[in-house]
Structure 1
Amino acid sequence: MKCLVLLAGCGLGDGSCIEEVILTYAALDRYGCDYTPVAEDISVPSVNHLTEQLADNRNVLLESARIGRGRMKSICGIDFEEYDALIIPGGIGLLNNYRASSTIEACIAHFSSRKKPIATMCAGIDFMRRFLGGSLLEHETNVLTAEKFCFDADNNIYYTPAFRKTNSCYTAGLGIGSMIYALKLRFL
């Protein structure tokens, strides 16, 4: 199974949640999934994570490369047909940095229209609701705990709350790991 991992920078307040990205990489490695982290080459305001105040503009692709494990690629020029699934770690950067991105919209549209699985966590569900409607997994997300995941068969969307429901890396990792494992089973 070959996965595209969509990053939105580096840091919960203005990018992708670093812990969720690392736990995602660990789960993908554990289950033998090939993956490519991608981000868009755009500049956006950053956040000082100590004061939570806006800071200088930063490039999303360059910031994502900090946690890209040497595999980071610009999403421009990626052939989505080569990938079986899309994984979206959480972070506020998804909601802010990609608010008006036609490139990211095309990526989501590709996976969604072909019913290829999309697995997301934390703020990723709010991001996906922009494309698939505000009621996507609405009930499930209210009752779901961090070590679990849920699945929307109609849209082929997987979701785990991760750090939305816990402060524990271990607990978030259980949810992310079980979600990636379930996704992998579909390709066996």
Structure 2
Amino acid sequence: MAAVRALLAPRLAAASAFAPRPGGRAAPPRAALHGSAPRAGPRVALVLSGCGVYDGAEIHEASAVLVHLSRAGADVQIFAPNVPQMHVVDHTKGQPSEKETRNVLTESARIARGKITDLAELSAARHDAAIFPGGFGAAKNLSTFAVDGKDCKVNGDVARVLKEFHGAGKPIGLCCIAPVLAAKVLRGVEVTVGHEQEEGGRWPYAGTAEAIKALGAKHCVRDVSEAHVDQKNKVVTTPAFMCETALHHVHDGIGAMVREVLRLIQK
């Protein structure tokens, strides 16, 4: 038992940093996402929309972005808006859970391993790039696209962040359904959500391309393992789970998106 306690002691000590303080408040996180020393690489803001494909950020996409950024030596800070989710979906059924509510920032903290900041505090002046993973949260919590289509509204802080980075000439990466955010806010931008035909179910959300055109943006057909780069606006997009395919193809496409975002930082 002594050996077991010795093995667990460091983890228990780390966990105690998050234990409630007297009065009920939790202590702020003290460690970086991966527990490593701070890096001097590019500073990238990752914006999440909850936790779970049907009502938040797509977890595999968020994780893939983090892996590729980590491999590139980027210094990542994770953000999410402090707002209620549109609704909560039971992911075993794909149906909304009645009378259940959740908060986007609180749910996103699950992916961030607790180290997360309110999106209201994100400033382009302190970061070199911003990346938005997909998942239905982008269309439900960061905007109303899931309900209103081309007539959607974008969360105020999301719109502000997109305009700030764009105005500063700093790159923005978006994947899956998230490119609709740029299409709405940055008129005339070039983005991709993949192919424009369903092709027997391989591209089940192909109709999104027409909505993007209706928003005044240009849609560019790309495969799932590719990224499209709008050189003029410094916006990089990739289809991700807009395509029904093997996970590693989605991972490869996100890797291409991350590489292009980081390349644009150098220009």
TM-score (normalizing by structure 2): 0.66
Supply the AA of the counterpart residue of 2:159: E
Tell me the matched-pair count: 185
**Which secondary structure state, in structure 2, belongs to the residue aligned with residue 120 of structure 1?**
strand
Task: Give the whole-Å Cα distance in 1 for the aligned partners of 2:96 and 2:184.
Answer: 24
Cα shift at 1:111: 1.0
Greater relative CO, 1 or 2 (CA 8 Å, sep 6+): 1
Pick aligned residue for 2:124 from 62, 80, 84? 80
Larger Rg, first or second structure (1 or 2)? 2
Q: CA RMSD in A?
A: 1.5
Aligned match of 2:20: none
For residues 166-181 of structure 1, what are the structure 2 equivalents within 5 Å?
166-181=244-259
**Which secondary structure state, in structure 2, belongs to the residue aligned with residue 57 of structure 1?**
coil
Q: List structure 1 runs of 4+ shifted beyond 6 angstroms.
A: none
Cα shift at 1:154: 2.1
Task: Give the whole-Å Cα distance in 2 for the aligned partners of 1:19 and 1:137.
Answer: 27
Pick aligned residue for 2:57 from 6, 16, 22? 16
Bigger strand fraction: 1
1:68 is aligned to 2:112: yes
2:56–2:138: 8 Å Cα contact kept in structure 1?
A: yes
Aligned match of 2:89: 47
Percentage of matched positions with identical amino acids = 28
**Which secondary structure state, in structure 1, belongs to the residue aligned with residue 185 of structure 2?**
helix
Task: Give the whole-Å Cα distance in 2 for the aligned partners of 1:101 and 1:165.
Answer: 26
Task: Give the whole-Å Cα distance in 1 for the aligned partners of 2:263 and 2:230.
Answer: 16
Aligned match of 1:183: 261
Supply the AA of the counterpart residue of 2:63: I
Q: Structure 1: any 5+ residue segments left out of the alignment?
A: none
2:229–2:260: 8 Å Cα contact kept in structure 1?
A: no
Task: Give the whole-Å Cα distance in 2 for the aligned partners of 1:5 and 1:160.
Answer: 16
For residues 148-159 of structure 1, what are the structure 2 equivalents within 5 Å?
148-159=226-237
Cα shift at 1:137: 4.1
Supply the AA of the counterpart residue of 2:263: L
Task: Give the whole-Å Cα distance in 2 for the aligned partners of 1:69 and 1:112.
Answer: 29
1:119 is aligned to 2:167: no
Pick aligned residue for 2:156 from 102, 105, 126? 102
